[in-house]
Amino acid sequence: MPLLVTGSIAIDTVRTPHGVSENCIGGAAVYFSLAASFFSPVRLVGAIGSDCPFHFDKVFAGRNVDLTGLEIRENSKTFRWAGTYADNMDDRKTDHMELNVLAEDPPKVPGSFKDSRYVFLANTAPNLQLELIEQVGSPVFVAADTMNCWITDHIKDLKRLLSIIDCLIINADEAKMLAGELNLISATEKILQMGPRIVIVKKGESGAIMCDADGGRFILPAYPATEVKDPTGAGDSFAGGLMGYLAQSGNADFATLKTAIAYGTVVASFAIADFSVNGLTCLSRTDIDSRFKTLRSLTSF
């Protein structure tokens, strides 16, 4: 079924203990689209400035990613982000950020995209996420991501968003912040009371937890990756694999979501193995399915 993603497209500079990648392609919508395209056709909605050096027909070559919703704004500049990872590859600090097009009006959803059935609202200001979802006709499953700055400074808009989406995908620290709870399970239960029927908490190298409004719970460890060069797109690759599998299945019940989380986990394990999107562009569905089988065998008992 049609899968739409809207989110950032970035020019990144990333520093990790393994090296530096300067002015490379990044952004939530890019990582998500590449990851999801292994499972389902993807419709990308995003905006860049005329300074963007990337050729997206080459970035997505061989992938079923529709770029009709990509806006190139001649008088604008592309979102830029620079960050440095600590030796443990978990702690990250932002060295520099220029919002540029992300501070402008959100891109328009093309008419041909309005029938999208699955929608992912990648991390951006909640009021922009609300504007974008209002442009889609009757989606059957909407998931969103968020982060600490929106929780701290835009909580009213965020709670409005949570009241209309099906699923929130969020990391552990942000889930505790949003709920005002130190216990992660208690935090997810409180978030469920805010509206979404599914909450999926990303725990990095510790895996993911899913809770639903009916009391269902699912815990999956991360794939035991031995090579971690750049974790920048891990969360968006996870979401892309997850949502891509749901769109492929045409279903979002609890059992399907469990499998989707496993596929998202596997795709993220490939994304972190190289800088920028290189861990995804050299990947095949066969590689993903093989690692998925390994993860399944490691977690069954």
The pLDDT > 90 percentage for the chain reads 90
Q: How confident is the model at residue 183 (pLDDT cuts 50, 70, 90)?
A: very high
Q: pLDDT tens, 269-285?
A: 999 999 999 999 999 99
CATH 3.40.1190.20 for the 3-146+229-299 domain, yes or no: yes
Q: How confident is the model at residue 89 (pLDDT cuts 50, 70, 90)?
A: confident
Q: How confident is the model at residue 25 (pLDDT cuts 50, 70, 90)?
A: very high
Would you say the C-alpha torsion 130, 134, 135, 141 has a positive or negative sign?
positive
Q: Partners of 167 in the beta sheet?
A: 143, 198
Task: Report, in angstroms and rounded to the nearest whole number, the Rg of the chain calculated over CA atoms.
Answer: 18
Would you say the C-alpha torsion 84, 86, 89, 92 has a positive or negative sign?
negative
How far from 230 is each of 120, 150, 168, 271, 291, CA to CA, in Å? 23, 24, 24, 8, 19
How many Cα neighbours within 13 Å face the side chain of 53? 8
Whether 205 shows a pLDDT value over 90: the answer reads no
pTM, rounded to two decimals: 0.95
**62 secondary structure, DSSP code:** T
Q: How confident is the model at residue 217 (pLDDT cuts 50, 70, 90)?
A: very high
Q: How confident is the model at residue 301 (pLDDT cuts 50, 70, 90)?
A: confident
At residue 211, the pLDDT reads: 97
Helix (H) or strand (E) holding 81: strand 79-85
Mean pLDDT within 54-65: 94
Buried b (16+ CB within 10 A) or exposed e, 4-21: bbbbbbbbbbbbbeeeeb
Q: How confident is the model at residue 36 (pLDDT cuts 50, 70, 90)?
A: very high
At residue 37, the pLDDT reads: 98
Pairwise CA distance, residues 117 & 247, whole Å? 8
Mean pLDDT within 137-161: 94
How many Cα neighbours within 13 Å face the side chain of 60? 23
Contacts of 191 (CB under 8 A, 6+ apart): 162, 168, 170, 175, 178, 179, 199
Computed over every residue of the chain, the mean pLDDT equals 95
Q: Which tokens in the block code for residue 282?
A: 């050299």
At residue 91, the pLDDT reads: 85
